[in-house]
Amino acid sequence: MVPVMDEPRPGALHHVELWVPDLDRAVASFGWLLESLGYTVFQEWEAGRSWRLGPTYLVVEQSPAMAGGRHERRAPGLNHLAFHVRDDREVERLAAEGAAHGWSLMFGDRHPFAGGAAHYAAYLENEDGFEVELVAAAVGAAPADR
Q: What are the tens digits of pLDDT across the range 40-53? A: 999 999 999 999 99
* CATH 3.10.180.10 is the classification of domain 15-145: yes
- Whether the per-residue pLDDT at 24 is higher than 50: the answer is yes
Peptide linkage before 76 cis (omega within 30 of 0): no
CA 103/CA 123 separation, integer angstroms: 10
pLDDT at 5: 59
- State yes or no: pLDDT of 129 exceeds 50: yes
At 48 the three-state DSSP class reads strand
Longest dimension (CA), the chain: 52
Q: Which residues of 109-128 are buried (b: 16+ CB within 10 A; e: fewer)?
A: eebbebbeeeebbbbbbbeb
Q: Domain residues of the chain, as ranges?
A: 15-145
Q: Are strands 121-126 and 131-136 parallel, antiparallel or unpaired?
A: antiparallel
Q: Is the pLDDT of residue 26 over 90?
A: yes
Q: 67-103: per-residue pLDDT in tens?
A: 888 888 888 889 999 999 999 999 999 999 999 999 9
